[in-house]
């Protein structure tokens, strides 16, 4: 599965291990991830693509999304797993 902007990924390394995030940007071998709580849209985290796994879900990242909406969407996805 390929990782793109809006992909929901699960961190598999580091202190974020096991948490769900959304990819906001990709540059070279890094992706920039947010979760709306510890990593807000204004301050994304740079993570090596090798350290995340795609879940197969997508979230539309547009100008209207807020940290609160993002947290709710990720919480709903986490309860489905």
State residue 7's pLDDT score: 96
State residue 12's pLDDT score: 96
Using CA atoms, how far apart are residues 8 and 71, in angstroms rounded to an integer?
Answer: 12
Query: How does pLDDT run across 5-59, given as a tens digit for each residue?
Result: 999 999 999 999 999 999 999 999 999 999 999 999 999 999 999 999 999 999 9
Using CA atoms, how far apart are residues 29 and 46, in angstroms rounded to an integer?
Answer: 10
**Displacement of CA 72 from its chain's centroid (Å):** 13
| Residue 80 or 33, more confident | 33
What is the reported pTM?
A: 0.92
State residue 63's pLDDT score: 81
63 token code pair:
């100008």
State residue 76's pLDDT score: 94
């Amino acid at each position: 599965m390929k990782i793109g902007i809006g992909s929901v990924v699960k961190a598999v390394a580091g202190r974020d291990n096991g948490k769900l995030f959304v990819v906001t940007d990709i540059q070279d071998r890094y992706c920039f991830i947010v979760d709306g709580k510890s990593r807000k849209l204004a301050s994304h985290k740079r993570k090596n693509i090798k350290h995340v796994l795609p879940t197969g879900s997508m979230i539309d990242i547009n100008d209207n999304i807020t940290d609160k909406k993002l947290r709710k969407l990720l919480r709903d996805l986490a309860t489905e797993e």
